[in-house]
Structure 1
Amino acid sequence: MSILYIFLGLLLLVVGGEFLVRSSVALSFKLKLSKMVIGLTVVSFATSAPELLVSVQAALDGFSDIALGNVIGSNIANIGLVLGITSIITPLAIDKDFYKFNWPVMMFLSVVFYFLLKSGQQIDRMEGGVLFLLLFVYLFFLLRRAKNAPETKPTDDSIDEGLSKATNFRIVIWLLLGGIALYFGSELLVKGAVDMATALGVSERVIAVTMIAVGTSVPELAASVIAALKKEKAISLGNLIGSNIFNIASVLGITALIQPIALKSELVLTNDIFWMLGFAAILIPLAFIPKRFEIGRTKGLIMVAAYAVFIGMAFLG
């Protein structure tokens, strides 16, 4: 039964996330926001909704290891799995925003996350507020850079222009369907994960950093793979890194504001978070060695292999 709950939960999260993105983008067009601003802010936040709902639900239910593991595992999956598989399909070009802005911000927030968790063995409401505030600081500089250098920021081809013609009624329906699907999807996924962990004799933490994390990263993985196969869109490494930034600043920040996230398993602090930091740090040498400003198939294979090692050690450990 737990497998059914997990499957239905993931399905509802994917469907809910899609409806939420559609309604958010359509509403943004109504508010006369530019396509670039929509891509950098609205879409990024909306695609983090599955992680947010799962983490909030887990924290409220008292399963804080799932809330933490979901974010840590999703950040690892975004690099090791999503970026790895995408670069195997088609080599990714690296722009200067990656190493001058997005990567330093991601590393800074990852290190802040580590020290906040280590200092008090939890992320309390004040610390959650700090993370959430840092999100607005990031968005401010992100939008300012986009405004000052429009020629270096291609428009996001994943945004459907047709959504600009959506009626207000349709937007409301999409928003309601997305919200309902995300709510029940997070409920089923958390329940299924806890039941499966109990049945398999592993911790909620292991299920969170593996199955739940991959599940909540499915929308990003599907979109990246489809785009790579169709060769219709230049896949920006910076946008994938931006997803990790949103996971830490918005998902953890908002979750902690609603319900402080206590550290239960020491392995989150002594093992999982170091894997997350390692996957983030390795991107710089991969970006410049041996071929500069490109992540090709060989580097993609290395990332996927490293992710497989992480998954294997999570279960064996």
Structure 2
Amino acid sequence: MLGATGYFALGIFLLLLGGDSAVKGASGLAQRLGLSPFAAGLLLVAFATSLPELAINAYALKQGQVELALGNAVGSNVVNIGLTLAVAALAAPLALRMRLLASKLVFVLVATGAVLFFSLDGRLLAWEGAVLCLGFVAALWHYFRRGCGEEAEVQAQFVAFAETRTGLLQNLARLLIAAVVLYFGSKLIVQSAPLLGQALGLAPLVTGLTVVAIGTALPEMAIAAIASRQGQGDVIVGQVLGACLVNLLLVVGGMAVVQPLAIPASFVMLELPAAMAFALALYPILGGDLTVSRREAGILLALFFAWLAFVLMQAWT
């Protein structure tokens, strides 16, 4: 148990390092190739910050740990909203000005519904996975097309987030280092997480849903709390919603394209509806005063711990 915990913690640390290197490398290379700093920031928030989760699920699929990967993909959405976003808003209320966030939330709700619909027959086929992947491309296109109309203050947040050196060799080296570090980090997590799950009496799906999803979110939670105090509310919420879209459309869809997936019944009955419920909880927040207050963050956090307690009770009975 102690050995597995140590390897798991080391894996999380490597994912943090690899993710940071990947974000800086992708930003620098994108700007080197002619993308504006604002567009580079949009790209990072929409996709690059989710590379650690992508690495974990790709390695888990390679090792035949399909349920672990499925649990992590959907569990990460619940954790991102109920824990990461809530902790960030508790550190400092999040003032939101980005108009795209509302449509991005709609995309998350539609994506969750699509995965749920495709999973009703207990399978996720290759063509269904391809539809999900195309949905991610469509969301990304919409995101970039509409992003140019954002206010200067919003654009400044994303420019600051994307700021880095743009040397070609330096950023290629960053991406190479990121690939190596993410590989070994994901390998440690995928190998140690089932051992931790067994010690806690959890099935692979629940292990991915809780242990892996929460463990990999801890570094992001700390970073988000710091960013909230720097007034980067749009970046934080954009990252959370972007990660949700990546998990649902690119990760789950990509897994199905590689190999058709057998979907556990609880995935349809419990896990996906929970992810939908947490996304819906954001709707009145983003559609109201455009501020995630400490009170609203407390509600999200309470809902998260209630969900976690329910999942664990179901697993242990």
Fold shared by both chains (TM-score > 0.5): yes
In structure 2, the partner of 1:49 is 51
- State the one-letter code of the partner of 2:180: I
Unpaired runs of 5+ residues, structure 2, are none
Q: CA deviation at 1:248?
A: 1.4
Cα gap change, 1:98 to 1:31, in 2 (>3 Å): closer
Q: CA deviation at 1:287?
A: 4.2
Q: CA deviation at 1:192?
A: 0.7
1:220-278 CA-to-partner distances (Å, cap 9, x unmatched) read: 3232111123x253444344222211221222222322233322x32222111111111
Does structure 2 retain, via aligned residues, the 8 Å contact 1:66–1:205? yes
Q: SS at 2:34's partner residue? A: coil
Q: CA RMSD in A?
A: 2.1
Does structure 2 retain, via aligned residues, the 8 Å contact 1:224–1:235? no
Q: CA deviation at 1:113?
A: 1.0
Length, aligned pairs only: 310
Does structure 2 retain, via aligned residues, the 8 Å contact 1:16–1:178? yes
How far apart, in 1, do the equivalents of 2:162 and 2:206 lie?
37
How far apart, in 1, do the equivalents of 2:260 and 2:252 lie?
10
- State the one-letter code of the partner of 2:273: F
Unpaired runs of 5+ residues, structure 1, are none
In structure 1, the partner of 2:123 is 122
Cα gap change, 1:260 to 1:180, in 2 (>3 Å): farther
How far apart, in 2, do the equivalents of 1:8 and 1:56 lie?
19
Q: CA deviation at 1:100?
A: 4.2
How far apart, in 1, do the equivalents of 2:252 and 2:220 lie?
19
Cα gap change, 1:288 to 1:48, in 2 (>3 Å): closer
TM-score normalised over the length of structure 2: 0.90
1:315 aligns with 2:316: no
Q: SS at 2:155's partner residue? A: coil
What is the correspondence of 1:1-317 to structure 2 with a 5 Å cutoff?
1-95=3-97, 97=99, 100-119=102-121, 121-149=122-150, 151=152, 153-155=154-156, 156-164=158-166, 166=167, 168-229=168-229, 231-236=230-235, 237-263=237-263, 265-287=264-286, 292-317=289-314
How far apart, in 2, do the equivalents of 1:181 and 1:302 lie?
36
TM-score normalised over the length of structure 1: 0.90
Q: SS at 1:221's partner residue? A: helix
How far apart, in 1, do the equivalents of 2:18 and 2:253 lie?
21
Identify which range, 70-79 or 266-275, moves more after superposition: 266-275
How far apart, in 2, do the equivalents of 1:308 and 1:149 lie?
35
1:129-161 CA-to-partner distances (Å, cap 9, x unmatched) read: 111111111111111112345547423155353
How far apart, in 1, do the equivalents of 2:35 and 2:298 lie?
39
Does structure 2 retain, via aligned residues, the 8 Å contact 1:67–1:261? no
How far apart, in 2, do the equivalents of 1:46 and 1:15 lie?
13
How far apart, in 1, do the equivalents of 2:44 and 2:297 lie?
28
Q: CA deviation at 1:69?
A: 0.8
Q: SS at 1:282's partner residue? A: helix
Cα gap change, 1:31 to 1:89, in 2 (>3 Å): same
How far apart, in 2, do the equivalents of 1:162 and 1:26 lie?
6
Q: Percent identity among equivalent residues?
A: 28
